[in-house]
Amino acid sequence: MNRSGGWLAVQALEQLGVEYTFGVPGVHNTELYDALADSEQITPILVTHEGGAAFMADAVSRTTDTIGCAAIVPAAGMTHAMSGIGEAYLAGIPLLVISGGIRRDSGMHYQLHDVDQQRILDGIVKAAYRVDRHEDVMPTIFEAYEAATSGEPGPVFVEISGEVLIFSGTIDELPVYERRWRPPLPDGGKVKDAVDLLAAANHPGVYLGWGARDATSVAVELAQRIGAPVSTTLQGASVFPADHPLHTGMGFGPSAVPAARKAFAGCDCLVTVGARFGEIATASYGMKIPETLIHIDINPEVFNKNYPAKVTIEADAGDAMQAIVAELCRREATDPAAAARTQALTELIRNEKKAWVDSWTAQPSDSRVSPGIFFRELRALLAADAYMVVDDGNHTFLAIEQFPVVRSKHFLSPTDFNCMGYCVPAAIGVQLTHPDRQVVAVVGDGGLLMTGLEILTAATYGVGAIFFVFHDGELAQISQFQEIPLNRKTCSVIGDVQVEGIATATGAAYIRMESDAEVPGAIEEALRLAAGGRPVIVDVNIDYSRKSAFTKGVVKVNFGRFPLRQKLRFLARALRRHVLGGN
Rounded Cα distance, 228 and 268, in Å: 11
Residues 37-95 have pLDDT tens digits of: 999 999 999 999 999 999 999 999 999 999 999 999 999 999 999 999 999 999 999 99
333 pLDDT exceeds 80? no
| Residue 509 pLDDT grade (very low, low, confident, very high; cuts 50, 70, 90) | very high
Residue 298 CB coordination number (10 Å):
21
Taking the alpha carbons of 557, 562, 564, 568 in that order, is the dihedral positive or negative?
negative
Q: Is the pTM of this model over 0.75?
A: yes
CB 331 within 8 A of CB 362: no
Residue 39 CB coordination number (10 Å):
17
* Rounded to 5°, angle at Cα 85 from 79 and 90: 135
Rounded Cα distance, 477 and 400, in Å: 14
CB 239 within 8 A of CB 212: yes
Residues 358-401 have pLDDT tens digits of: 999 999 999 999 999 999 999 999 999 999 999 999 999 999 99
- Cβ within 8 Å of residue 445, ≥6 positions away: 469, 470, 471, 472, 473, 494, 497, 499
Measured CA distances, 398 to 209, 310, 341, 373, 519 (Å): 19, 34, 30, 11, 16
What size, in residues, is the chain? 583
Choosing among 3.40.50.2020, 2.40.50.430, 3.40.50.1220, 3.40.50.1100, the CATH entry for 188-349 is: 3.40.50.1220
CB 224 within 8 A of CB 246: yes
The stretch 494-505 carries a mean pLDDT of: 96
Q: What is the 3-state secondary structure (H, E, C) of 294-325?
A: EEEECCHHHCCCCCCCCEEEECCHHHHHHHHH
Rounded Cα distance, 294 and 310, in Å: 6
Rounded Cα distance, 49 and 61, in Å: 19
Taking the alpha carbons of 144, 146, 150, 153 in that order, is the dihedral positive or negative?
positive
580 pLDDT exceeds 80? no
* Rounded to 5°, angle at Cα 303 from 330 and 292: 55
Each domain of the chain, given as residue ranges in start order, spans 2-170, 188-349, 363-549
State which H helix or E strand residue 447 sits in: helix 445-451
Alpha-carbon 545 to chain mean position? 26
- Cβ within 8 Å of residue 236, ≥6 positions away: 208, 209, 210, 211, 212, 213, 274, 275
> What CATH architecture is 363-549?
3-Layer(aba) Sandwich (3.40)
**Among candidates 533, 499, 505, 522, which has minimal Cα distance to 431?**
533
Pairing verdict, β 311-314 and 411-412: unpaired
pLDDT of residue 253: 92
171 pLDDT exceeds 60? yes
Residues 532-568 have pLDDT tens digits of: 999 999 999 999 999 999 999 998 898 888 898 888 8
pLDDT of residue 339: 79
Q: Do domains 2-170 and 188-349 have the same CATH topology?
A: yes
DSSP letter at 28 equals G
Residues 451-481 have pLDDT tens digits of: 999 999 999 999 999 999 999 988 888 887 7
**Domain 2-170: which CATH class?**
alpha beta
Pairing verdict, β 2-4 and 168-170: antiparallel
Rounded Cα distance, 207 and 186, in Å: 19
Average model confidence (pLDDT) for the chain? 95
pLDDT of residue 582: 64
Q: What is the 3-state secondary structure (H, E, C) of 498-549?
A: CHHHHHHHHCCEEEEECCHHHHHHHHHHHHHHHCCCCCEEEEECECCCCCCH
- Cβ within 8 Å of residue 34, ≥6 positions away: 6
128 pLDDT exceeds 90? yes
pLDDT of residue 334: 58
Rounded Cα distance, 298 and 475, in Å: 36
Alpha-carbon 463 to chain mean position? 20
**Among candidates 535, 543, 550, 529, which has minimal Cα distance to 375?**
543
